[in-house]
């Protein structure tokens, strides 16, 4: 029974982390609008339906994160139509034959790209949050930010921190200083 609580906690934590990550990509706080209670309900309903039809028991936010990041399309309607369309293609024999002809290493490469994007998005979120929580009278320069991230276990180079900071349109420390 205790192991079920641990699994539920991990799923809950992953749900929040995925939504924070997607929120940073689309620049809209999904934990506030539509709200954590609605996204958890959607996740629960999707898990029940997936289990009922012998599919995945949980939704795949990781893939959604990368897809939204690459396409910049975060519409529920577009995602639903695309899922229904692609799901219906799975029942067409020539499509099945074509998909089976694709070497597994190609799918593995696609997965590496997707999860690499997710890792980059997560690091950008951590960098943004660290800078947002810094002392504005003494902002953290890239070297110190790199050191903070390395101490937390994120092995990242200073030039990568600088690149991600620039992609987030965050100025260097001396320009962030407030008196």
Mean pLDDT of the chain: 85
Number of domains in the chain: 2
Residue 88 located in a structural domain: no
Residue 97 located in a structural domain: no
Q: Which residues contact 43 (CB under 8 A, 6 or more apart)?
A: 15, 58, 59
Cα separations (Å) of 5 from 10, 12, 32? Answer: 9, 10, 25
Residue 45 located in a structural domain: yes
| pLDDT given at position 85 | 92
Whether residue 10 is predicted with pLDDT greater than 80 in this model: the reply is no
pLDDT in tens, 35-44: 888 888 887 7
Q: What is the DSSP letter of 133?
A: T
Check which CATH number belongs to the domain holding 117 and give it. 1.10.10.60
Average pLDDT over residues 89-116: 89
Q: Is 77 exposed, middle or buried (0-12, 13-18, 19+ CB in 10 A)?
A: exposed
| pLDDT given at position 106 | 92
Residue 142 CB-half CA count within 13 A? 15
Which of 61, 78, 95 is at the close of a domain?
78
| E-state strands within the chain | none
Q: Using alpha carbons, select from 91, 83, 88, 47 the residue that is nearest to residue 64.
A: 83
Q: Per the confidence metrics, is the pTM higher than 0.75?
A: no
| pLDDT given at position 93 | 94
| pLDDT given at position 57 | 58
| pLDDT given at position 29 | 85
* 54 and 109 both lie in a single domain: no
pLDDT in tens, 155-169: 999 999 999 999 999
- Helix-then-strand count for the chain, H and E: 9, 0
Q: Domain containing 2: what range?
A: 1-78
Residue 83 located in a structural domain: no
Average pLDDT over residues 98-125: 87
pLDDT in tens, 47-87: 788 778 777 656 566 667 777 777 878 787 887 898 889 88
């Amino acid at each position: 029974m205790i192991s079920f609580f641990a699994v539920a906690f991990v799923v809950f934590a992953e749900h929040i982390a995925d939504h924070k990550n997607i929120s940073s990509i689309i620049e809209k706080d999904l934990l506030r609008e539509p709200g954590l209670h609605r996204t958890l309900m959607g996740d629960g309903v999707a898990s029940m339906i997936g289990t009922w039809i012998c599919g995945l028991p949980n939704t795949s936010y990781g893939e959604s994160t990368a897809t939204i990041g690459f396409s910049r399309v975060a519409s529920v309607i577009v995602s639903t139509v695309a899922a229904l369309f692609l799901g219906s293609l799975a029942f067409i024999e020539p499509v099945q034959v074509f998909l089976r002809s694709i070497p597994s290493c190609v799918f593995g490469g696609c997965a590496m790209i997707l999860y690499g994007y997710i890792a980059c998005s997560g690091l950008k979120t951590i960098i943004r949050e660290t800078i947002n929580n810094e002392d504005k009278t003494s902002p953290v320069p890239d070297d110190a930010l790199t050191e903070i991230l390395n101490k937390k276990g994120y092995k990242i180079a200073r030039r990568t921190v600088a690149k991600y900071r620039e992609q987030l349109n965050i100025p260097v420390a001396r320009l962030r200083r407030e008196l």
